[in-house]
Amino acid sequence: MSDRISSFAGPLTQDYLIQSMQSQLTTLTTEASTGLLKNPAASMGANAASLYRLQADAAEQNTLQTATTAAGDKLNAVQDALTSMATAVGSVATATINTASATPEGETAIAEQASSTMSQAMNLLNTQYAGSAVFAGDASSGLPMVSADAPGGPQATISAVLNAAVTAKGGPLSSSDIDNLINGPNGLSSVFSNTNSNPAQNYNGAFYTGSTDGQPTKVPIGVNQTLQYNASANQPAFTDLMKGLSMLSMLSAPSSQLDDSAKSTLLQQAGTVIGHAQDELTSLQGNLGVVQSQLQQATTTQQTAYSTTTQQIATMEQADPAKVATQLSTLQTQLEATYEVTAQISQLSLVHYLPTLTA
């Protein structure tokens, strides 16, 4: 039995050797064509740890670069929306300048413009980038702003506040009643400060349904480094804007609710609130602009670091053309010799062997 097993040993050994050499030939051919080592770590020994560390660094740098680029694009969408909003609000603010000479018809036109601008501003605050609402804070999904004419939404809330004030007085409001309408208990201001006794008539709910945790959006820019900003639609720049537009929208109320003196005072005060909101929007855009600049710098830094790291990796993974060519030539020669020996072995048989026994 042992003789029979050993008779196969030679061919089996040759077959294994040929397969091994063919595998090496494939590897060397690939390295010669690509210029890269197929398994660089295997030939580096203890230095392989340096390669693994560089590869990990490159992956992290690429991830950070992707994050900062996406955040920058998201802030571009925010800034575009704010610019459009500022333009729309500017038109309304201009209309409130000549309050002394406002006519009933003019006040109605301003009210209609304010309502239209509110709808436009709320649509802009529902701007999305890559499927994410950019003014929703850190809310994971859903648009942050309620439709202006939704049941229980902005228009319904404004009407409810006005109706309550008129009912409490028992007749139309005059100029002396406007302060209570705006700043009194459950007045319009309570809606936008979220202090109205009726939770359904607070800004967070009636107008805004995004995140209310007050946490800023954070963007990783390096190891244990982040940038943060706040563009959520429930911060003062937007609540003050909505408050001013809400005051202006009341100008379309009938004389049974607001007399001429009330509307004149309301128009004047609304202009002040709108002007303050414009300043806040400008400040917000400036603050976000600073973050955008920092993000751009971070992106450039990560791009440079990634390029440097990948160049180092490429150097470590690069094959030596002369060495590969020599190994390839030597292996081809060895493989050809092995093929020849194998061919000779395959021709051996008992028929060839017997004549030597009878000679």
Give domain status of residue 44, yes or no: no
Residue range of the domain that includes 266: 84-310
pLDDT tops 50 at residue 164: yes
In a domain, 63, yes or no: no
220's torsion region: left (phi>0), alpha (psi -120 to 50) or beta? beta
Q: Which secondary-structure segment (H or E) carries 72?
A: helix 48-95
- Domain shared by 11 and 120, yes or no: no
Nearest CA among 179, 188, 183 for reference residue 160: 188
Cα gap 131→222, rounded to integer Å: 25
Query: Count of alpha carbons within 13 Å of 341, Cβ hemisphere only?
Result: 13
Determine, yes or no, domain membership for 180. yes
Q: What are the E-state strand segments in the chain?
A: 128-129, 132-133, 217-222, 225-229
| Sign, Cα dihedral of 44, 46, 47, 52 | positive
Question: Which residue type is seen at 40?
Answer: P
Say if residue 189 is in the same domain as residue 286: yes
Residue type, 271: G
Average pLDDT over residues 285-299: 94
Among 17-26, 80-89, 131-140, where is mean pLDDT lowest? 17-26
Q: Do residues 109 and 52 touch, judged by C-beta distance below 8 A?
A: no
For residues 237 and 323, membership in a common domain is answered with no
State pLDDT tens for residues 126-162: 999 988 999 998 876 789 999 999 999 999 999 999 9
For residues 293 and 161, state if they share a domain.
yes
- Check whether 198 has a pLDDT greater than 50: yes
- Same structural domain, 347 and 274: no
Per-residue pLDDT at 348 exceeds 60: no
Could you tell me the pLDDT band of residue 224, with boundaries at 50, 70 and 90? confident
Model confidence at 189: pLDDT above 60:
yes
Mean pLDDT across 29-52: 64
Say if residue 337 is in the same domain as residue 275: no
Q: List C-alpha distances in Å: 83 to 90, 131, 186, 282, 285.
A: 10, 21, 32, 9, 8
What is the overall mean pLDDT for the chain? Answer: 84
Phi, psi of 258 (to 5 degrees): -130, 125
Same domain (yes/no): 326, 183: no
pLDDT the model gives residue 49:
81
Residue 64 falls inside a structural domain: no
Q: Is 277 inside any structural domain?
A: yes
Q: Are residues 118 and 225 in the same domain?
A: yes
* Residue 348 forms part of a structural domain: yes
The percent of residues above 70 in pLDDT, for the chain, comes to: 74
User: Do 12 and 158 lie in a common domain?
Assistant: no
Q: Is residue 287 part of a domain?
A: yes
What's this model's pTM, rounded to 2 decimal places?
0.77
Examine the domain organization and report whether 104 and 187 are in the same domain. Answer: yes
Do 165 and 303 belong together in one domain?
A: yes
Give pLDDT, residue 57: 86
Q: Tell me if residue 305 falls in helix, strand or coil.
A: helix
Q: How many domains does the chain have?
A: 2
Task: Say if residue 191 is in the same domain as residue 246.
Answer: yes
CATH of the domain at 292: 1.20.1330
State the amino acid at position 167 in one-letter form. T
Within-domain flag for 276: yes
Q: Which residue type sits at 152?
A: G
